[in-house]
């Protein structure tokens, strides 16, 4: 029963979900609404589960003094602080209103910290570009040229050079080259990837719905 | 180790130093740059400009603070455009931080914390009548699907906890048939792709998508196929949007930093390749 019930639920929900997509009329469309509502409820619980799991792992790490346990301590303190402030000291359900203590933490701690972490990527991208964009072979040279046109064509200085300083004809402006790279080779490549992914998702989904793929219930 | 070898193995901190100068220096300079408007931004803006006063615009803000430097200017411009042209805004988020980012954008447009009623450019704007913020809803793309059949079922209350039936703007609003245009500002999943797959393909919404420069290439196939009305890609897209809307803001200002940073990266790439060939490419491969 522990294996069969989840398999049956998956098969029934999966088949109904496919069916309702092609028959968007009553009573089939009602299934779509039910499943959407249930998915929202499950995801809301999953958020809680994720948060509690994070706390459990962090607490265990601190209690057992595992490597880098101090980072887990920061996680626990941060979580507890924003949780307590959000629930008890931020006008209850209106905690997201501007001016609450929750929003104070959001604006002055979370926002700058997460932005800083993300901004570091810019530096690493610059360093990685220096080392990676080398014309080692034909493929690498093409990548290098595409990067050159897109990087310069996507900022105003690209057109400033080709349009105003060099006064080249319209088709030689760097923005046009960048647009060409984005609209033609990029779109073609993205479409190929998308179609490949879609086919993979379809086959995996069918295997799960039909009960061929059972690792999610048995761990086999 | 020869000169070219040293150049090839340059300390990354030197590159970081150049990047930080390239990014910060332009913030103190007053150099104007002309932005060339791309077709995908112009077409999206033209669709938006067709809306008549009173039209309902849904603005899903699906991003968080790390992506705000690129996306917040788009949200600000979209909100300012809607308020300027008397378009009614319905703000929501499939990312938990999205509605808060939208509130910050609204505050930056209005110049003060948005309350119940506010006077802006001689207009009296009222929450619930001129704009609503539905807040965050868990469920990713299935929220979009649920909105296709019933918006009140997907969002029974706004982000303040008010039942949406009590908000005049939401009265009579059933599903996407009552939405005239959607401007999605997103940084990843769920975002533009999910809005196309569920909102556009299934329910026929008119979608203008704003996204980060990293995500923009994923959106191009949908623009080429006509599923997306327009794309605002990264800071460049945001600056073009600002220019078309006639309100130059942070995106336009930050483009100078981006220009400098790109030039520095390009110069480093050129130097790296010169060193690679001058130092004997075979030795390095």
Tell if the CB–CB gap between B19 and A123 is shorter than 8 Å: yes
For residue B115, the model assigns a pLDDT of 75
Rounded to whole angstroms, what are the CA distances from B75 to B90, B91, B176, B211, B249? 13, 10, 21, 11, 11
Q: In which band, very low, low, confident or very high, does the pLDDT at A215 lie, cut at 50, 70 and 90?
A: confident
ipTM of the complex: 0.85
Q: Do B208 and B244 touch, CB atoms closer than 8 A? A: no
The Cα–Cα gap between A50 and A52 comes to 6
Q: Please answer whether residues B4 and B195 qualify as being in contact, where contact means their C-beta atoms are separated by less than 8 angstroms.
A: no
pLDDT value of residue B9: 84
Q: What is the pLDDT of residue A85?
A: 95
Distance from CA of B52 to the nearest CA of A (A): 31
**Partner-chain contact B262 A154, CB within 8 Å:** yes
Q: Which two tokens stand for residue A25?
A: 């009329």
The residue whose two tokens read 């899903």 is B60
pLDDT in tens, B30-48: 888 888 899 999 999 999 9
Residue B126 pLDDT more than 70? yes
Nearest Cα to A31, choosing from B142, B14, B110? B142
pLDDT score for B214: 92
Q: What is the DSSP string of B198-256?
A: IIIHHH---EEEEE-TTTHHHHHHHHHTTSSSEEEEHHHHHHHHHHHHT---HHHHHHH
Confidence at A35, pLDDT banded by 50, 70, 90 = confident
Distance between CA B262 and CA B268 in Å, rounded? 10
pLDDT value, residue A31: 83
Is the Cα dihedral A98, A103, A106, A109 positive or negative?
Answer: positive
**CB–CB of A191 and B114 under 8 A?**
no
Average pLDDT for B128-139:
94
Considering only alpha carbons, which residue of chain B is nearest residue A146? B266
- What does the alpha-carbon distance between residue B74 and residue B244 come to, in Å, rounded to a whole number? 12
Segment B7-25 shows an average pLDDT of 92
Q: In chain A, whose CA is at the least distance from the CA of B94?
A: A40
pLDDT digits over B206-222, tens only?
999 999 999 999 999 99
This prediction has a pTM of: 0.90
Of B23, B106, B27, which Cα lies nearest the Cα of B61? Answer: B106
How is residue B85 written in tokens?
A: 């042209």
The residues spanned by each domain of chain B are 35-249
Architecture of the B35-249 domain: 3-Layer(aba) Sandwich (3.40)
In eight-state DSSP terms, residue A137 is S
Q: Are strands B207-211 and B230-233 parallel, antiparallel or unpaired?
A: parallel
- B190 upstream amide cis, omega within 30 of 0: yes
Q: What are phi and psi of B138, to 5 degrees?
A: -75, 150
Nearest CA to B148 out of B108, B175, B119, B177 is that of: B175
Q: How confident is the model at residue B116 (pLDDT cuts 50, 70, 90)?
A: confident
The model's confidence at residue B69, banded by pLDDT at 50, 70 and 90, is very high
Supply the pLDDT for residue B282. 54
Q: Is B19 close to A126, i.e. CB distance below 8 A?
A: yes
Q: How confident is the model at residue A40 (pLDDT cuts 50, 70, 90)?
A: confident
Q: How would residue A65 be classed by pLDDT, with cut points 50, 70 and 90?
A: very high
Q: Which residues, numbered 134 to 193 in chain B, qualify as contacts with chain A under a Cβ-Cβ cut-off of 8 Å?
A: 135, 137-140, 142-143, 145-146, 149-150, 153-154, 159-161
Chain A residues with CB-CB distance to B261 below 8 A: 122, 126
Please tell me which of the candidates A37, A129, A187 has its beta carbon nearest to residue B220: A187
- A220, pLDDT greater than 70: no
Flag if A136 and B285 touch (Cβ within 8 Å): yes
Distance CA A87, CA B272 (A): 54
Q: What is the pLDDT of residues A8-33, one digit of tens each?
A: 999 998 998 888 888 878 888 888 88
């Amino acid at each position: 029963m522990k294996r069969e019930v989840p398999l049956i639920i998956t098969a029934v929900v999966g088949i109904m979900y496919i069916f309702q997509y092609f028959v968007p009329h009553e009573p089939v469309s009602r299934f779509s609404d039910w499943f959407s509502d249930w998915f929202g409820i499950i995801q809301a619980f999953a958020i809680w589960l994720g948060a509690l799991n994070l706390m459990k792992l962090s607490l265990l790490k601190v209690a057992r003094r595992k490597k880098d346990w101090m980072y887990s301590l920061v996680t626990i303190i941060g979580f507890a602080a924003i949780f307590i402030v959000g629930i008890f000291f931020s006008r209850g359900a209106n905690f997201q209103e501007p001016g609450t203590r929750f929003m104070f933490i959001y604006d002055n701690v979370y926002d700058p910290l997460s932005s800083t972490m993300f901004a570091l990527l810019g530096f690493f991208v610059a360093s990685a570009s220096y080392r990676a964009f080398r014309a080692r072979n034909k493929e690498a040279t093409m990548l290098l040229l595409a990067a050159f046109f897109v990087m310069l064509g996507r900022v105003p200085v690209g057109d400033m050079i080709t349009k105003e300083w060099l006064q080249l004809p319209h088709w030689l402006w760097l923005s046009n080259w960048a647009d060409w790279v984005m609209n033609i080779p990029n779109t073609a490549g993205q479409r190929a990837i998308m179609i490949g992914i879609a086919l993979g998702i379809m086959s995996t989904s069918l295997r799960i719905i039909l009960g061929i793929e059972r690792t999610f219930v048995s761990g086999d | 180790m020869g000169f070219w070898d040293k150049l090839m193995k340059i300390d990354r901190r030197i590159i970081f130093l150049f990047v930080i100068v390239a990014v910060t220096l332009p913030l103190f300079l007053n150099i104007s740059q002309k932005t060339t408007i791309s077709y995908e931004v112009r077409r999206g803006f033209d669709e938006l400009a067709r809306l008549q006063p009173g039209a309902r615009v849904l603005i899903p803000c699906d991003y968080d603070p790390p992506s705000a430097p690129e996306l917040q200017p788009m949200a600000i411009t979209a909100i300012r455009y809607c308020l300027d042209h008397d378009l009614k805004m319905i703000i929501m988020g499939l990312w938990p931080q999205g509605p808060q980012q939208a509130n910050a954008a609204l505050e930056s447009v209005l110049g003060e914390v948005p309350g119940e009623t506010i006077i802006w450019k001689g207009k009296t704007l009222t929450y619930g009548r001129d704009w609503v913020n539905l807040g965050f809803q868990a469920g990713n793309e299935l929220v979009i699907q649920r909105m296709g059949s019933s918006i009140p079922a997907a969002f029974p209350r706004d982000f303040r906890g008010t039942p949406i039936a009590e908000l005049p703007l939401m009265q009579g609003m059933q599903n996407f048939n009552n939405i005239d245009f959607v401007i999605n500002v997103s940084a990843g999943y769920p975002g533009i792709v999910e809005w196309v797959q569920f909102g556009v393909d299934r329910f026929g919404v008119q979608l203008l998508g704003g996204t980060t420069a990293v995500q923009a290439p994923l959106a191009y196939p949908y623009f080429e196929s006509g599923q997306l009305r327009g794309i605002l890609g990264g800071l460049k897209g945001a600056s073009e949007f600002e220019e078309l809307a006639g309100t130059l803001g942070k995106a336009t200002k930050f483009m100078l930093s981006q220009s400098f940073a790109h030039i520095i990266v390009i110069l480093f790439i050129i130097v790296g390749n010169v060193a690679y060939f001058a130092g004997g490419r075979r030795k390095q491969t």
